[in-house]
Amino acid sequence: MNIPKLTERFEAALVYAHQLHRHQTRKIHCIPYIAHLLSVTALVLEDGGNEDEAIAALLHDAVEDQGGTATRAEIKQRFGETVVAIVDGCTESDTLPKPPWRDRKQRYLDQLRQGSPSVRRVALADKLHNARSFLQDYRQQGENLWSVFTAGKEGLLWFYQSLLELYHPNNSSPMVAELKRVVEELEELVKPD
């Protein structure tokens, strides 16, 4: 197996990601946002991702959450065209206010269908980590959790099922099987009695 080499570029991206997101937390529990970025990066590397994909995993939310087109230009200048193309492919929206949730998610799914293997790997790692976090939060908070999420129960389950339909037929990544397991467990927990 070819082990990806992580160079000073990765180290610089790690520092840059921390600088960009240092005041940001996850919606639940106020966990520093960098924890999500590190988890996504670990999933990408464990799936065989290369350094550009790992850097893009660290920066996958930077344009959307931390500066829009100016941040995009900075990523391109610092880390190159390949990394910024992956980040672009993982960005749902770079405008404020963000478009309505359902429209934004549908455009994102359409974007992923056309995405490169690198975009699809980073996006899958992101959504897997989000699904794992959501499942854990639901176990702890139950139905109260829906008040924090715009989409509600039906919207969230629609989105994850749509992701599985997009990835499952043609992807052998273990992340797909894990996402399927997490989504099935979440569906079982949230279904009405």
Q: What is the pLDDT of residues 54-100, one digit of tens each?
A: 999 999 999 998 989 999 999 999 999 999 999 999 999 887 788 89
Separation between Cα atoms, residue 157 and residue 100, nearest integer Å: 17
The candidate with the shortest Cα–Cα distance to 112, out of 166, 158, 60, is 166
Catalytic choice (52, 64, 88, 126): 64
Amino acid identity, position 163: L
Q: Mean pLDDT for the chain?
A: 92
Instruction: Show Cβ contacts of residue 154 under 8 Å, excluding neighbours closer than 6 positions.
Output: none
Query: Is residue 81 among the annotated active site residues?
Result: no
Distance CA 144, CA 148 (A): 8
Q: What is the pLDDT of residue 1?
A: 55
Low-confidence ranges of the chain (pLDDT < 50): none
Predicted pLDDT of residue 26: 85
For position 147, what pLDDT does the model report?
Answer: 79
**CATH number of the structural domain 8-190:** 1.10.3210.10
Q: How far apart, in whole angstroms, are the C-alpha atoms of residue 183 and residue 62?
A: 26
**Annotated catalytic residue, options 65, 92, 94, 185:** 65
**Active-site residue flag, 8:** no
